[in-house]
Homo-oligomer: A and B are copies of this chain.
Amino acid sequence: MFDKSTYVARRRTLCEKMAKTAPEGKRGIALFIGNVEAPAQYKDNCYKWRQDSSWLYYFGLDDPRYAAVIDFDSGEQTIFADDVEIGDIIWMGPQPTVQSKAESVGIYSSAPYKAVDAVVAKAISQGRRIHFLPPSRYYNTIKLSMLTRCTYDEVNIVAEGDGHHASEELVKAVISMRLVKEQCEIDAIDDACALGYEMHSIGRDSIVPGIIEQEIVGKMEAVTISKGWGVSFPTILTQHGETLHNHLHDKIIEPGKLMVIDAGAENNLHYASDFTRTYPTSGKFTQKQRDVYQIVCDCNNHAFSLVKPGISYRDVHLATAKRMLEGLSALGLVHGDLDEMVAQGIAGLFQPHGLGHNMGMDVHDMEDLGENLVGYDPDQKRSDQLGLGSLRMARKLVPGNVITDEPGIYFIPALIETWKSEGKGKDFVNFSRLESYYDFGGIRLEDDVLVTPNGARRTGPKRLPITPDEVEAAMAK
């Protein structure tokens, strides 16, 4: 947890932002529902406890079954949770009181968890606005639906003004704050990246043909559990990198393949890292692998070189797409005018995902608040092109943004065949030449980047080996 003053200041800023959304007396209340434990098998056997990120941001308290209300008219702030009883002490040990916990984050009013029901009911009866964030978990869906008398679907719809839905005003205020990391958050991300570095180094050093992928995953995740909260997302470790979110680890490692490792650590303060590297399972790239790898590596470096305040990440994505098409042209896989190909979205056939996303307490930061509200400026419209359409962060960059830089090239037979049969990209793509890449797999290279006042820096103490030579040297050790 950070200093008490951090949370007090954040809530003060939030109140100031919300004060601008309506005249005094019409601002209403914000209702925050912290997480409860998430059952894995049954209600008392749960996944590892993880608090809601927006809750952590404003209230810091890392315990289940908490709620809070901020009254934007009176300024009053209240924490709702239950003190433990003797029966609980046997199972959970002696605990500080809810009141003392509330005070530790600068809130001096507390009440039992159940009491939040009456507070919300009263505000509804007075016709006051109830602001809440869309729920990130199913329990919160149920709780919000019961408290605010919305349907399950309604609580997930973010819109402005009164009514049965999540509050766009509150969502926008929260996003505007969490998008720009404070120094204490940057330190926490650097720390998570140090864990991520160690995690990836162990992963790379464990690649040996003949073992099962799962064995490497266990060694990598041990680092995150021993020194942090755990993984910041389910580890991707696969010889089928062309499948973007492949969470199976049941394959035997074969020589001569490419292995994509996309993995991150969450530290004990609940900040994420998110790195991807791609390794030749035999320790050396074939020439064919090296040629494609070098393009992805160039794209990663090119994107990083462009990052600075004022440029939109959409433009960085497009500039990187152009660089990628230039490289693919040199290999004879596409041909034609580069700008024309960028405009037609040809890069999406090879990289059907965006260049990167915001990162913070969530690895896709604030995705529960709505991808477009988080990642797009009001004047930006999301593309419907494959690839660019998946870009989660398009905004004009400002100092304090933390983003991922993760270009990739994949040869996805089903996708290529679909384009070919539909005649899509037929003026640019050398489909016949692509057939020899159907068993190639995929390559992705990802760093995490902080936008600084004058440019950018990669987060974490060191950059993982990334050039083909660096990778081969690291694997030879």
Contact = CB atoms under 8 A, between A and B. Distances in A.
Interface string A219-245: 101111111000001100000101111
A476 interface: no
Interface string A18-33: 0000000000000000
A376 B136 CA distance: 38
Nearest to A84: B414
B136 A41 contact: yes
Contacts of A39: 38, 136-138, 368
A362 interface: yes
Contacts of A137: 38-39, 138
Contacts of A89: 243, 412, 414-415
A156 to B, nearest CB: 9
Q: Which of the four size classes fits the interface of chain A?
A: 35 or more
Interface string A401-430: 000000000001011001000000000000
Contacts of A233: 45
A42 B166 CA distance: 15
A86 B418 contact: yes
A210 interface: no
Interface in A91-115: 91-94
Contacts of A48: 47, 234
A49 interface: yes
Interface in A134-157: 136-139, 141-142, 146, 152
Contacts of A90: 243-244, 352, 412, 415
B226 A214 contact: yes
A40 interface: yes
A218 interface: yes
30 contacts: A38-B38, A39-B137, A39-B368, A41-B50, A41-B362, A41-B363, A42-B362, A42-B364, A43-B368, A45-B233, A45-B362, A45-B364, A45-B367, A47-B48, A49-B247, A86-B414, A90-B244, A90-B352, A91-B244, A92-B245, A93-B246, A94-B414, A141-B142, A142-B142, A215-B226, A217-B225, A218-B221, A218-B225, A221-B222, A221-B225
Nearest to A37: B234
A40 B45 contact: no
A46 interface: yes
Contact of A219 (B86, B217, B222, B412): B222
Interface in A114-147: 136-139, 141-142, 146
Name which of A47, A215, A243, A362 has the most chain B CB atoms within 10 A of its CB.
A47
A53 B41 contact: yes
A91 B243 contact: yes
A139 B42 CA distance: 12
A170 to B, nearest CB: 16
Contacts of A364: 42, 44-45
A211 to B, nearest CB: 10
Contact of A245 (B91, B142, B225, B227): B91
Given A93-B242, A142-B152, A215-B226, 17 more contacts: A38-B47, A39-B138, A41-B367, A41-B368, A42-B364, A43-B136, A47-B48, A90-B352, A90-B412, A92-B246, A93-B243, A141-B142, A217-B225, A218-B222, A218-B224, A219-B222, A221-B222
